[in-house]
Amino acid sequence: MTILELEMKIAADRRMDRLPVNIGERPCYDEMFNLVRQENGKWATFYGEHGGTTNKQEYDTKEEAADALWAILEDAVKPYDWRKARENMRAYRKEEKERKKQRRQEWRRNLRDRLKKR
C-alpha cells in the first residue's frame, strides 16, 4: 500500500486514533511508531522512545514499509485474549508441577543410590 493509503487506513480505524504515528523524513523518538525515509534512500519502521529505536526494520520501497507499519499497528491494537492467556498459564503451571515432581523423584533416586553405596 502507499503511504497515503496507510494514512487513510489509520484515520478510518477507530482503534488506532490513540496510537502516536510519525510518517515522514525525520524520525521522532517521543514514544511513537515511525515510518521514515533514511539518508541511504531506504525506508525504515521502528518504535522511537527515549532517543532510541526499538524493532527497527529497513525496506527498499515505501510500499513495503507501509505494509509493515500497518501490520505493526494492527498488532499493537489487537485485543488481549484473556481466555487464551488463562489457558496458557494453566498449562504452564501444570508443566511446572510435573517438572517439580520429576526433580523430586530424581533427587530421591540419587539419595537412595548414595545411601546404597555406603
Number of domains making up the chain? 2
Instruction: Determine the pLDDT at residue 110.
Output: 94
Residues 21 and 60 in one domain: yes
Residues 106 and 63 in one domain: no
Residues 87 and 118 in one domain: yes
pLDDT 10s digit of each residue in the chain, 118 long? 888 888 888 888 887 766 788 888 787 777 889 999 888 989 999 998 888 888 889 999 989 999 999 898 888 877 777 888 889 899 999 999 999 999 999 999 999 999 988 7
Residues 9 and 65 in one domain: yes
Domain range for residue 32?
A: 3-77
What burial class does residue 80 get, using C-beta atoms within 10 Å of its C-beta: 0-12 exposed, 13-18 middle, 19+ buried?
Answer: exposed
Whether this model's pTM surpasses 0.75? no
Instruction: Determine the pLDDT at residue 53.
Output: 85
